[in-house]
Amino acid sequence: MEEKQSYLGSKAAKYALGTHRGPLPPDDGDGCTIEHIETANTISLEKKEKTRAERARRHWARFWCCYIFWSFIFLIVFLPIFFTIIIPAIAQRVVDNSSLVVTETSVMQPRPDSIMLSLKSTLKLPIGVPVRIEPMAISLLNRKEKGNGTWAKVYLDGKTIKGPTTLGVENQLTPLNVEQWKEYVHSVVFEKNAPLSLYGKTTAYLGQLKNHVTMDKDVEQNTLDSFSGFSIADPQLLLPPREDGTNLIANATLPNPSVMTLEIGKTILELKSGDLVIGNATIDNLVLKPGNHSTPVHGIMDLKVIIKNLVTVLQSQASSLKNGYLTLDTVGKSVVYDGVEVPYYTEVMKNLTMTAKVPLGGLIKNTLRGLLHGDNGNNIFANLTDTSDSDSGGGLLDQLGKSDKSVRDLLTSRAIDEFLNNPEKRSSMITMLEGFL
């Protein structure tokens, strides 16, 4: 009989597998031993699906060192880029997308090489966060000019921008780059919408973030458009002339659709009929304010030149006379401020021709009114104001006052016809004109 191994009788042998296991415990017939083994707390070999959280925890537990290492490397690379490139680019984009509108400008005390400049503008940023800017120098320039097109610089104080904010300078004595300023004045006078170009750099603070930004904009604005709508009203010849030779007065309107106030100075204009210079007009202390404003004009109408070239004048004015007005061209001759010529204004005005339609009826009416209400009691035109003759339609001044386009009809009226056919009155008038000339 084979000898039984000693280990088979041990307590643990009954849990061994195979031929070396010990004797099984007795079965009581109800299978409780098998059931006990099946329900024991053992490791199951059945595959179990892990949840996402379990997989993440397991992955982190295995690779946390790698994550920390690569995060550290990412921050080393990204943070310098973020603060030196991305944030400044965002700040610059905010400035580029901002709204800048010029609300008021005044150019006063024009000197050959300087002006007294006031400039107000409204800046609105496309964000609602307050932004503080440091003081900065703004170059005002001609964008189209090659090289340095700066004609002046203005210096703005630091300010916190929140919502629409006013920026600008007031009564700042501004030296000029005369050539570039002359180009800008030319564009303002001749163009309808000459932009105001500006360039400047400053430091902006968004909270504790510090950024260098550049203000580089072309601000659209209305400009003078060659004084479109220029007109001369209330013209009057002074007979006899004043002691200084002035024999023409009127009111001139130079429209200014811009927000600029321009102090020009004493402006002398040549009066031309076609290509013939027939006199001059002077505007004292011309100041162009926004809107339409009438300015008194006085000058000298050269009657000798007109009489000498009467045929030429009538030929150039033929179509205008048929419609009851004279067409006069005015061309700048000189601009003087405080006794000193302002070269940039003079040059621009010399290149500008402004045409005005002078109502002939108004000219005659005002001239005769000046004669009739003079200090001389023996007025040879006194009977021209007689309104008792209903057939003539009233006195001469009344007829002239009805319509400036009725001059041709008035020239055939009985009052004029009687005057022209009266030798005594005609002779007196000729004698007076000869004495005047």
The number of CA neighbours under 13 Å toward the Cβ of 162 is: 7
Q: Are 305 and 265 in contact (CB under 8 A)?
A: no
- CB 407: neighbour CB atoms within 10 A? 21
The pLDDT of residue 395 is 52
Q: How far apart are CA 133 and CA 212, in angstroms?
A: 10
Nearest by Cα to 106 from 297, 266, 256, 296:
256
Let me know the angle formed at the C-alpha of 284 by 302 and 116, rounded to the nearest 5 degrees: 145
**Is the distance from CB of 347 to CB of 182 less than 8 angstroms?**
yes
Tell me which residue has tokens 């490791």.
43
The first and second tokens of residue 384, run together, are 């021209």
Give pLDDT, residue 51: 84
Are 114 and 173 in contact by the 8 Å Cβ rule? The answer is yes
Determine how β-strand 99-111 pairs with β-strand 260-273.
parallel
Closest CA to 204 of 96, 104, 100: 96
CA 287 to chain centre: 20
How far is the C-alpha of 205 from the C-alpha of 94, rounded, in Å?
13
Q: How far is CA 88 from CA 165, 172, 211, in A?
A: 22, 32, 6
Q: How far apart are CA 234 and CA 252, in angstroms?
A: 9
pLDDT < 50 regions, the chain: 1, 32-40, 375-394, 404-405, 408, 411-417, 419-420, 426, 430, 433
Q: Which burial class, exposed, middle or buried, applies to 27 when counting CB atoms under 10 A from its CB (0-12, 13-18, 19+)?
A: exposed
Return the closest-CA partner of residue 13 out of 4, 2, 22. Answer: 22
Q: Which residues does residue 376 pair with via DSSP β-bridges, in sequence order?
A: none
Please give the pLDDT value at position 362. Answer: 81
Nearest C-alpha neighbor of 199 from the set 137, 117, 157, 135: 137
> Cα–Cα distance between 142 and 148 in angstroms, integer?
9
The candidate with the shortest Cα–Cα distance to 225, out of 194, 199, 192, is 192
- Ordered by where they begin, the domains of the chain are 95-222 (2.60.40), 226-379+393-436 (no CATH)
**Strand partners of residue 279:** 271, 301
Residue with tokens 């000898």: 3
Give the per-residue pLDDT at 212.
85
Residue 238 CA, distance from chain mean position? 43
Report the candidate in 221, 229, 230, 109 with the shortest Cα–Cα distance to residue 172.
109
Contact 373, 245 (CB under 8 A): no
Quote the CA–CA distance of 148 and 135 in Å, as a whole number: 22
The structure tokens 């609300």 sit at: 103
What percent of the chain lies above the pLDDT cut of 90? 38
Cis check: omega of the bond before 240, within 30 degrees of 0: yes
- Provide the 10 A C-beta neighbour count for residue 206: 16
Determine the length of the chain: 437
Q: How far is CA 44 from the centre of its chain?
A: 83
DSSP state of 118: E
Give yes or no for a contact between 399 and 393, defined as CB atoms under 8 angstroms apart: yes
Classified as helix, coil or strand, 44 is coil
SS3 275: coil
Closest CA to 107 of 228, 251, 258, 220: 258
